[in-house]
Amino acid sequence: MAVTEFSQDQLDEIYIFAVDLGRKAGEMLLASIERRIGDGDNQFEEKDSSVDIVTQTDEDVESFIKTAIQNKYPAHKFLGEETYAKSQSREYLIDKHPTWCVDPLDGTVNFTHLFPMFCVSIAFIVNHSPLIGVIYAPFQDQLFSSCANRGAWLNEKRRLPLIRNPSIPPLPSNAPRQCIFSCEWGKDRRDVPDGNMHRKVESFLNMAAEAGGRDGRGGMVHGVRSLGSATLDLAYTAMGSFDIWWEGGCWEWDVAAGIAILLEAGGLVTTANPPKDPMTDPIEDFRLGSRLYLAIRPAGPSSTETGRQSQERTVREVWRRVHELEYTRPGV
């Protein structure tokens, strides 16, 4: 765990507050869905593009969470998706101070289409390390949570990853074969040959194609999934349902809580972009504001490898197949 000015007792107390807040915010999301089912109202506004949208619910839930945090912890900083969206700057604003990083509604497009993969996502970050994560997907009544050194949990009862007896399964020896590969199309839809969308699709093809196909890059993964919520992609990786998550373009509030939970469950998070030599260059830690993430599920040892070795091998096998993405921003 990162060195912080917080004692474990203080973190435990903040965690209890965050879980309660996540549940209440999730109930607000569900109440809004119920109202919509009742009156058919489905209004949203466009932000940066026609696929980047905001509803009144995003705004209401963010202001509820912000007020609750400011009342309880006035000295902490707050960064929320909707507050940030209103400013013109796209700078990375998190510094070493204790900060709450909140997405009031991740999966807004899903929410407006009544596709159940939406959630509230709340992270508590100190010194750039997400120490507490709470994700609540109210339609499924799934609460994912973690506090540094206390493990990661589903509905506060089942420890993550779900399969852990007699031990957490290693990653397949021929990964990415036999893996579920999770990824997102994202919001950069520019139809230019070298743009992010084309680079992503080429990467998806490499991961999916038959082994030996695509000039030896075919990954023949078991399946490719896109939930439409980066936060839930990470939670499902922590559960062990997804083996690999690769994405570029999402923001810190899309990933902070999910990263806290995945790391506490034993996952690995690094950058989406392959280094010069994907097979030998060091595997750097993720950077929260980078907008580029590759996550690998928790893994136990096999007879030939530690769990960490199998995660690193999988990172390299992904890097070997994906294209570099471009999401630059000031302050990173």
62 binds ligand IPD (CB under 6 A): no
Q: How many residues bind ligand IPD, per CB under 6 A?
A: 14
Q: How many residues bind Ca ion, per CB under 5 A?
A: 3
Here the tokens at position 245 are 């998550």
Kindly give the pairing relationship between strand 53-54 and strand 45-46: antiparallel
247 binds Ca ion (CB under 5 A): no
Alpha helices by DSSP H, the chain: 8-39, 56-72, 81-86, 108-112, 196-208, 213-216, 230-239, 252-265, 307-319
Q: Which does 186 bind (CB under 5 to 8 A by kind): ligand IPD, Ca ion, none?
A: ligand IPD
Which residue in the shown chain puts its C-beta closest to Ca ion? 106
184 binds ligand IPD (CB under 6 A): yes
Residue with Cβ nearer Ca ion (254 or 312): 254
Kindly give the pairing relationship between strand 244-248 and strand 180-183: parallel
82 binds ligand IPD (CB under 6 A): no
Are 289 and 101 in contact by the 8 Å Cβ rule? The answer is no
Q: Which amino acid is located at 328 in the chain? A: T
User: Looking only at residues 253 through 272 of this chain, which bind Ca ion when binding is defined by CB under 5 A?
Assistant: 254
Q: Which does 229 bind (CB under 5 to 8 A by kind): Ca ion, ligand IPD, none?
A: ligand IPD
Is there a binding annotation on residue 106?
Answer: yes
The correct pick among 58, 59, 62, 103 for binding Ca ion (CB under 5 A) is: 103
Provide, rounded to whole angstroms, the least separation between the CB of residue 210 and Ca ion: 34
82 binds Ca ion (CB under 5 A): no
The correct pick among 228, 274, 298, 307 for binding ligand IPD (CB under 6 A) is: 228
258 binds ligand IPD (CB under 6 A): no
User: Looking only at residues 86 through 125 of this chain, which bind ligand IPD when binding is defined by CB under 6 A?
Assistant: 103, 106-109
Dist. CA 313–CA 319, nearest whole Å: 10
User: DSSP letter string over 26-74?
Assistant: HHHHHHHHHHHHHH-----EESSSTTSEE-HHHHHHHHHHHHHHHHH-T
Residue with Cβ nearer ligand IPD (26 or 228): 228
The correct pick among 80, 133, 138, 249 for binding ligand IPD (CB under 6 A) is: 249
Is there a binding annotation on residue 105?
Answer: yes
Q: What length is written for the chain?
A: 332
Are 293 and 158 in contact by the 8 Å Cβ rule? The answer is no
Output b/e per residue, 87-119; b: 16+ Cβ within 10 A. eeeeebebeeebbbbbbbbbbbbbbbeeebbbb
Here the tokens at position 132 are 């507490």
Q: Which amino acid is located at 44 in the chain? A: F
The correct pick among 82, 106, 264, 312 for binding Ca ion (CB under 5 A) is: 106
- Binding-site sequence positions for Mg(2+): 81, 103, 105-106, 254
- Binding-site sequence positions: 81, 103, 105-106, 254
Contact set with ligand IPD (CB under 6 A): 103, 106-109, 184, 186-187, 228-230, 249-250, 254
Contact set with Ca ion (CB under 5 A): 103, 106, 254
